[in-house]
Amino acid sequence: MNEIRREELYAVIRQAAKIPAHVLINDSSRFVQDLGVDSLDLVGVLLSIQDNYDFELTDDEIGAIACVGDVLSLMTQRGLKLSAA
């Protein structure tokens, strides 16, 4: 998959972290503070994202991720395109 649709990414995050539907997810959502994702769940979320979009993150990159926008930024740096839709 070479294209990222924000809503699909948000759905992957929501499912992997079991985030309730009433919790808003956007690019500025912080995993721990806003979404209530603990460090163990964050590893699972990032693994799900990597599996769904077929790319890998380094340990240093994983350690620097604080919000959804950080993940999107890393994905686009890997050549994945952000869909306008």
Supply the residues annotated as catalytic.
38
Question: What secondary structure letter does DSSP report for 80?
Answer: P
Residue 38 — φ and ψ, nearest 5°? -85, 175
Cα separation of 15 and 13, whole Å? 6
Cα separation of 20 and 62, whole Å? 24
